[in-house]
Amino acid sequence: MYRYDEFDATFVHERVEQFRDQVARRLSGELTEEEFKPLRLMNGLYLQLHAYMLRVAIPYGTLSGTQMRRLAHIARTYDKGFGHFTTRQNIQYNWPTLEDAPRILEELAEVEMHAIQTSGNCIRNTTADPYAGAIKDEVEDPRIASEVIRQWSSLHPEFSFLPRKFKIAVTGTTHDRAAVKVHDIGLVIKRNAAGEVGFEVLVGGGQGRTPMIAKTIRDFLPKQYLLSYLEAILRVYNMLGRRDNKYKARIKILVHETGIEELSRLVEAEWESLSRETTVDLPRAEYERIAAYFEPPDLAPAEASSAAFEAAQQEDRDFRHWVRTNVKEHKVDGYAVVDISLKPIGGVPGDATADQMDLVADLAERYSQDELRVTHGQNLVLAHVAKDDLHALFKELAGAGLATANSRLVSDIIACPGLDYCALANARSIPIAQDISRRFDSLDRQFDIGPLEIKISGCINACGHHHVGHIGILGVDRKGTEYYQLTLGGRADENAAIGKILGPAFDADGVVDAVETIVDTYLEERRGPDETFLDAVERLGFQPFKDRLYPQKQAAA
């Protein structure tokens, strides 16, 4: 894992002291809310429905046991004993006080964490594949580029007041687990014909009220030019991005209005002009210094499978099911990548108690090289677990309600905080996720359905990624009543697509029945268990689903 150097540590501690002074001046009345609001937002402190909310950055979703334990301590000491992991691989606390905020940031700084740039029109936390460094077909660990971007983008003077917020995601494999095509910039690490490592650069993806899939602006960017090329894109966006209308200010609108060819020409011209001035590109030695922090752990290869592991699966049915869903192949024989579900049946997606966080910290230290990951699907990952340890790990997780076997199944739902917490929301998201999860609580039924991603947002800002849900659910307010609009066919992987609206919205009770109707229709219409939900939707189109969901409409037609 990356460790702060002296500069990083000094900078973060100084920032805490600045914020402590700003909070004191706000509380004394020296600063008005209008003056203070941009300062607190720069430090991740929002004001929501019931209290302040602090969003803490988890760079590319990677944490040490010590850091996770500190997050647990903060949840226990300054919040109500839990934290909420988000779709941007961060954590949010829903109940901190303004008076405590500087102390919380100080406690974070002590373990090399902060909340800087988790809000505002700046470059946000760069996200990455949660299986980074552990999966077989990876060209390079995406966290190296993510860390390079983190250092470059932190308090970048030119890009601290962009037209809108800016999100970058990186994947090192062709199978995309980082949703790069729905980010402002997506980076796919690849090799060119000569075997050199570089990036496919995608630009202009995003969700919100105008969802768009990113377009490739450069098929292959040699690795050494990463920062100068990003700088060129950001410069063009900063100059041409719209500031007159916040709903049209994201780079996706610029790409759409300018066209990718013209934007590419402008970026290339800016890039060439930049290279004549100076360069922000890292010297090879500095890139390698950062890369050294992400060297793969020294795992002694073992047998691909072990007698103890196989025997445990035979004897323990729950373990066998969990292995089937939540355990993935590691690049080193004898090891596995483990998904820790934060989606217990009927639970709040992404929530973890302080005790659960403490336990996961211990487990990371004991079983996974003192490292864990947060996924954009609001779960956790232990990336380097010996197969011989899996059963012991499973039993410890199960004892804390953390061994739900549902990774990427129908109850592994993404949901934003919605109207239960969020000042922007129109409708609640979490209760819908809970009801759907309860409706599909049978694991046999979930296995039968197969991979199916449901994603729920409580407003059009789409923090719950509903646009890219296989089934997407968008909460809306109609004359004081919550309604839910369904979309179908979205996906966030390398074949990313925006889901399309099925028809009229349902009320809170009706939407759970509607989801079940969609699932039942799929089960009846599919060619067999090998035809996934998405494949069936593609083959069948929307009509069979509409016929079942809106029978009156069909009868009237």
Partner 1 sequence: MSEKTRSKKGGDKALTANRLTDGVAIFLATDGSWVEDAREARVEGDDAGHAALEAAGAEAEAAGIAVGPYLIDVARDADGAVHPTRNREVIRARGPSTHPHHGKQAEGLSGQEAA
Cβ(120)–Cβ(41) below 8 Å: yes
Minimal distance, residue 461 CB to partner 1, in Å: 12
Task: Tell me which of 18, 48, 238, 279 binds partner 1, using CB under 8 A.
Answer: 48
Minimal distance, residue 419 CB to partner 1, in Å: 6
Task: Tell me which of 190, 428, 466, 467 binds partner 1, using CB under 8 A.
Answer: 428
* Pick 86 or 94: Cβ nearer partner 1: 94
Question: What are 510's two structure tokens?
Answer: 């009706």
* Pick 436 or 488: Cβ nearer partner 1: 436
CA angle 87, 9, 128 (to 5 degrees): 25
- The SS3 assignment for 35 reads helix
Task: Tell me which of 326, 434, 487, 521 binds partner 1, using CB under 8 A.
Answer: 434
* Pick 164 or 387: Cβ nearer partner 1: 164
Please tell me whether residue 50 binds partner 1 under the rule CB under 8 A. yes
Please tell me whether residue 80 binds partner 1 under the rule CB under 8 A. yes
* Pick 30 or 196: Cβ nearer partner 1: 30
* Pick 175 or 438: Cβ nearer partner 1: 438
Stretch that binds partner 1, among 143-151, 199-207, 392-400, 479-487 (CB under 8 A): 479-487
Please tell me whether residue 155 binds partner 1 under the rule CB under 8 A. no
- Determine the Cα–Cα distance for residues 236 and 264; give it in Å rounded to an integer: 10
Instruction: Tell me how far the alpha carbon of residue 195 is from its chain's centroid.
Output: 30
Please tell me whether residue 52 binds partner 1 under the rule CB under 8 A. yes
Please tell me whether residue 33 binds partner 1 under the rule CB under 8 A. yes
Minimal distance, residue 27 CB to partner 1, in Å: 7
Question: What are 291's two structure tokens?
Answer: 């890369």
Give rounded-to-5 percent helix, strand, coil for the chain.
Answer: 45, 20, 40
Task: Tell me which of 7, 29, 193, 444 binds partner 1, using CB under 8 A.
Answer: 29
CA nearest to 475, candidates 435, 445, 534, 439: 435
CA angle 434, 439, 444 (to 5 degrees): 120
Cβ(129)–Cβ(123) below 8 Å: no
Beta bridge partners of residue 53, listed in sequence order: 46
Please tell me whether residue 468 binds partner 1 under the rule CB under 8 A. no
* Pick 49 or 299: Cβ nearer partner 1: 49
* Pick 350 or 377: Cβ nearer partner 1: 350
Task: Tell me which of 109, 213, 430, 511 binds partner 1, using CB under 8 A.
Answer: 430
- Determine the Cα–Cα distance for residues 183 and 273; give it in Å rounded to an integer: 26
- Determine the Cα–Cα distance for residues 181 and 538; give it in Å rounded to an integer: 20
Please tell me whether residue 21 binds partner 1 under the rule CB under 8 A. no
CA angle 74, 51, 154 (to 5 degrees): 60
* Pick 200 or 420: Cβ nearer partner 1: 420
Please tell me whether residue 545 binds partner 1 under the rule CB under 8 A. no
Please tell me whether residue 157 binds partner 1 under the rule CB under 8 A. no
Question: Helices 251-258 and 260-277: crossing angle, nearest 10°?
Answer: 110
Minimal distance, residue 427 CB to partner 1, in Å: 8
* Pick 102 or 205: Cβ nearer partner 1: 102
H or E stretch at 55: strand 52-56
Please tell me whether residue 345 binds partner 1 under the rule CB under 8 A. no
- Determine the Cα–Cα distance for residues 437 and 411; give it in Å rounded to an integer: 5
Binding mask 98-117 vs partner 1 (x if CB under 8 A, - otherwise)? Answer: xx------------------
Question: What are 251's two structure tokens?
Answer: 């780079």
Binding-residue total with partner 1 (CB under 8 A) = 32
Cβ(459)–Cβ(475) below 8 Å: yes
Stretch that binds partner 1, among 22-30, 277-285, 304-312, 326-334 (CB under 8 A): 22-30
DSSP state of 123: B
Task: Tell me which of 120, 377, 431, 490 binds partner 1, using CB under 8 A.
Answer: 431
**DSSP E strands: which ranges in 65-214?**
82-85, 91-93, 127-128, 168-171, 185-191, 197-203
Please tell me whether residue 301 binds partner 1 under the rule CB under 8 A. no
Strand pairing category for 197-203 and 185-191: antiparallel
DSSP-derived secondary structure for 448-484: HH-S--EEEESSTT-TT-GGGSSEEEEEEEETTEEEE
Minimal distance, residue 52 CB to partner 1, in Å: 4
* Pick 74 or 332: Cβ nearer partner 1: 74
Residues in contact with partner 1 by CB under 8 A are 26-29, 33, 47-52, 80, 94-95, 97-99, 348, 419-421, 423-425, 428, 430-431, 434, 477, 480-482
